[in-house]
Structure 1
């Protein structure tokens, strides 16, 4: 009789030990599951934090652009890339990307020389208009911006009066010009005359005009996009 009691007690002890081991395994499994969930949440929060930091970096740093970057020379203006709907918040100018280039519409006003220097600092130059499509595109942008003002373009006859050259020294094609009136070199306000061209946003159709290079106007830069 005592032997049977010992055997039963031993069996009960072993059964209880097994149950405790199973309970421990269950607790451990639950802990592992909770840990996996916590790790997943922490990973997700880390990814979100990095995304927010990246967004703030690209929108607050005026030297950075989202989507693509301007190249540092002016030799690739005719690359035919499709338009991208880029918006660049936090920058001092309006940037519009189209066909492998950026068009930068300034918000501040400067004379022609300083406007050109600003464009060169950005990696390009004052805009050269090579087609009616490009002229129409720029005209639409000046309307969209609701800025009925003059914008400098990269056209001047400073070297020889009446001989209009683009900033890359190519002569103006008379078949690709959009003068409101023929340039008249009016010199009443500036003895040097009117040697620099603007896109005139005052008139319907956004034609060109010639004015003194010393006047302070907005500008349109053209910058190749990598």
Structure 2
């Protein structure tokens, strides 16, 4: 069920075995509304069901009070990959990593550089990164930012 409280702008969402609470300063009431919320270590991860290009996906994440996910550790990467397998293993998801400013210089959406060793799957030589749950070892790939993909948003718990 969804319940909106105008005074606190609380957003309650219940999905199967996950019950999550998120206080939003803005609530996106159109197709940005996600299907799957998962909480882990003080963060909400939002897995979209709809497909959008990278820019539109990022805007939806921002409308929810977050941004496309920034993956800070191999543990976080494995957690997200497992969630993708649980939800739908054969679908790529946008993450908040791009080299659109300078070819080969990968920056997260908060402008921090990619500083860990990532095993990339050679999908193409494009500018926006995706994560997959089904690629063995190589969890990330880069594809055209204009492709229509699902996304993972990261929203801080408030």
TM-score normalized with structure 2 length: 0.80
Shift of residue 203, structure 1, vs aligned partner = 1.9
Matched, 1:68 2:10: no
Corresponding position of 2:99: 157
Q: Which of 101, 106, 113 is 2:55 aligned to? A: 113
Residue 60 of structure 1: CA displacement? 2.9
Which has the bigger relative contact order, CA under 8 A and spacing at least 6?
2
* Distance of aligned partners of 1:165 and 1:70 in 2 relative to their CA distance in 1, 3 Å threshold: farther
Q: What is the alpha-carbon distance in structure 2 between the residues aligned to residue 204 and residue 116 of structure 1?
A: 26
Length, aligned pairs only: 141
- Determine the C-alpha separation between the residues in 2 that align with 1:99 and 1:72: 21
Residues 59-115 of structure 1: CA deviation (Å, up to 9, x unaligned): 233772255324659xxxxxxxxxxxxxxxxx6420001111100000000000000
Query: 4+ residue stretches of structure 1 with deviation over 6 A?
Result: none
Q: Partners in 2 of 1:72 and 1:101 — Cα distance?
A: 16
1:178 and 2:125 correspond: no
Once the two structures are TM-superposed, the CA of residue 204 in structure 1 deviates from its matched residue by 3.0
Which 5+ residue runs of structure 1 have no aligned equivalent? 1-58, 74-90, 186-193
**Aligned equivalents of 1:64 and 1:71: distance in 2?**
7
More helix by share: 1
1:143 aligns to what?
85
- Contact in 1 for aligned 2:124/2:143 (Cα 8 Å): no
Decide whether aligned partners of structure 1 residues 143 and 203 sit closer, same or farther in structure 2, where only a CA change above 3 A counts: same
- Listed one character per residue, the Cα deviations across residues 176-211 of structure 1 (whole Å, up to 9, x for unaligned) are x23124x852xxxxxxxx100000234234610000
Deviation at 1:146?
Answer: 2.7
Q: How well do the aligned residues superpose, as a CA RMSD in angstroms? A: 2.2
Between the aligned partners of 1:147 and 1:106, the Cα distance in structure 2 is 14
Deviation at 1:152, TM superposition (A): 0.1
Query: Which structure 2 segments of 5+ residues have no match?
Result: 5-9, 14-19, 27-32
